[in-house]
Chains A and B, each alone.
Chain A
């Protein structure tokens, strides 16, 4: 299988990349890991006239802890960079474990954080855990940079608030009071399967009482969504099995899944109930796993 011809650019700076995206408009596409884009090009779902390879933007390949602020994840980190990151292992193993559940090893070695987010696939594995951890995305364009909350980034399947000339530069996970977080996913196989349902939670627990909670659901709506009623319900409650089970019931009422080749809407709704309960239990008992 061969790709159609395209003009190729490999800019050395973010500014140059944005300039190219602005200059060529809708004709241009950003190429990072290619695990999604090259497949789409082969399947004739995409035919960019201009490909802007971001392989040279080394500054976007770092994961760092900024003292007193939070963890900064460069958009060109691959999923396996997250899995192997000492910073994440120490602070948010939940993020590393979410990355580890994506696709297979070969894809995790190429597919990037920025690609997983900007493709805006509703079943993507990283957005829910980033939303649960209140992360933000730094977008850079020709008119400057802006910061967007991860939960506000997605507008529909394959759609985000990003402008044509904007790139995701980094994801920032702020220091927080949450004591535990967790992402669990149900796929039809253990590996190489899209999420049928993905549930990410973060909780702040003190003396057995849930002070704060964030719950984000993947693959059960047009975008990853927060289950805000579930979060409100949890606040101030004791983290008992009954309370977490009730939270699961509420969360299953907050999602709007579709039926497709992988699962029916009814099945997905019930999975949300179970997985929300399980993810909460893990986050309460085990911390940021």
Chain B
């Protein structure tokens, strides 16, 4: 169980350590803090977007121990000791990841709001399955809604990235 202190209002605040994009961060948070809020409000990692906040749209997708999850539905305290990769951690140093490059090349975004989640889901797929079929790509990003409906270019970008891994 994470250690906690009781604040002046009688609310418990827990020391939680998460590894985000390769660095450990320890934050003192309330138990009801959601992962998406820890990332955006406490760690200033605002690449992860808040969309529907109900697990439907996938804008807040991050990898939790390598698996894509909706950060809006996960308690930050339940991530204590675990590894998180956000869109900010996808690129390799100064260089964009191949998935990011291919999204640009294929114009795999229009307004761009779904893009961080799309790229995280796509990268997680390619980590597990480096040569997916179109069906597998569509299945992997089915939890990421693009309201500009630019799916054709997104799928093309992911398939092209797979060929150039």
Does residue A191 face the partner (Cβ distance < 8 Å to B)? yes
A: residues with CB less than 8 A from B are 1-10, 12, 31, 33-35, 38-39, 42-43, 51, 53, 55, 80, 103-107, 109-110, 190-192
Contacts of B70 in A (CB 8 A): 35, 106-107, 110
A124 to chain B, nearest CB (A): 16
Closest-by-CB residue of A relative to B14 is A8
Contact A6 B142 (CB under 8 A): no
* The residue from B32, B58, B75 contacting A5, defined by CB atoms under 8 A apart: B32
Interface of B is mostly: mixed
Answer whether A105 and B12 are a contact pair too, CB < 8 Å, given A34-B74, A192-B143.
no
* The residue from B31, B56, B64 contacting A8, defined by CB atoms under 8 A apart: B31
Contacts of A9 in B (CB 8 A): 1
Does residue B37 face the partner (Cβ distance < 8 Å to A)? yes
* The residue from A3, A5, A35, A55 contacting B55, defined by CB atoms under 8 A apart: A35
Does residue B85 face the partner (Cβ distance < 8 Å to A)? no
CA distance A1 to B40 in the complex (A): 12
Contact A42 B53 (CB under 8 A): yes
* The residue from B2, B53, B69 contacting A1, defined by CB atoms under 8 A apart: B53
Contact B140 A8 (CB under 8 A): no
B: residues with CB less than 8 A from A are 1-2, 11-12, 14, 30-32, 34, 37, 50, 53-56, 58, 61, 64, 67-70, 72-75, 77-78, 121, 139-143
Contact A38 B56 (CB under 8 A): no
Closest-by-CB residue of A relative to B71 is A106
CA distance A5 to B69 in the complex (A): 23
Contact A106 B61 (CB under 8 A): yes
Contacts of B55 in A (CB 8 A): 35, 38-39, 106-107
Closest-by-CB residue of B relative to A34 is B73
Answer whether A42 and B31 are a contact pair too, CB < 8 Å, given A105-B140, A105-B142, A107-B143.
no
Contact A109 B78 (CB under 8 A): no
Contacts of A4 in B (CB 8 A): 32
